[in-house]
Structure 1
Amino acid sequence: MENNTTTDNGKTAAIISYFSIIGWLIAYFALHKDQKTALGSYHLRQTLLFAIVSLIIGWGVGFVLGILILTTGIGALVYIMYVLYIVLFIIWVIGLIGAINGEQKPMPLIGEKSQNMFPSI
């Protein structure tokens, strides 16, 4: 059974992991690695996959839209990126609220997949 300090470290690791890849690294190495908790593991898996997906989507869609804007001259296509970033932000907020509340609530679209992809975290 976990004691309160370990449980608090799990919640702290879960919350910190949502703040950039630097936050994820701090949460994993400083708070989670030596005192693993189910809550910390759950959110570390989610935020790792979220960071990877966000990076791929940001670069991929940015590249494609950049080419489309250059070839068509339709600058309004940049609004597609804004919508995409808003959707990613909403997903991020849902995950962060779950971590703050100490819940193992999956992020939309990626939460369940992350638990299967990174079982060793």
Structure 2
Amino acid sequence: MTNSDKEGKNIAIISYFTIIGAVIALFMNNDKKSAFAAFHIRQALGIFLSFFFIGYFIGYFDSWTISSAFYLFYFILWIYGFIGALQGETKCIPILGEQFQKIFKNI
């Protein structure tokens, strides 16, 4: 693994640590464009933004069951993406991953 591959992997891992980590990783990837890091930045940014957007509406249900299912679903998506970054894989997260790649294609 070359130094640029390690740096891209580190940036990809950082992108999964909260929305702030995704923004920091975005700026870190501006200097040395890593396709691997950009892929995971798009995935992480999509996970966090959709979580906040959909979570806003889930909050109106006022149901513990619906809220718990929502949190569990997004936690599983986050784990799937994070493990992919740790293993050096570029697999899209299920259901929404392809859309995130299309929406954030300029990153």
Q: Does 1:104 align with 2:102?
A: no
Aligned alpha-carbon RMSD (Å): 1.3
Native 8 Å contact 1:17 1:27 kept in 2: yes
- TM (normalized to structure 2)? 0.93
**Letter paired with 1:96:** F
Amino acid at match of 2:39: Y
Higher Cα radius of gyration: 1
The Cα of 1:79 is off from its aligned counterpart by: 2.0
How far apart, in 2, do the equivalents of 1:52 and 1:20 lie? 10
State the alpha-carbon separation in 1 of the partners of residues 104 and 72 from structure 2: 26
Runs of 4+ residues deviating >4 angstroms: none
In structure 1, stretches of 5+ residues that fail to align are 67-76
Of stretches 89-98 and 3-12 in structure 1, the one that deviates more from structure 2 is 3-12
Amino acid at match of 2:52: L
SS at structure 1 position matched to 2:88: coil
What is the TM-score when the length of structure 1 is the normalising length? Answer: 0.83
- Which letter maps to 2:18? S
Which structure 2 residue ranges, 5 or more long, are not aligned?
A: none
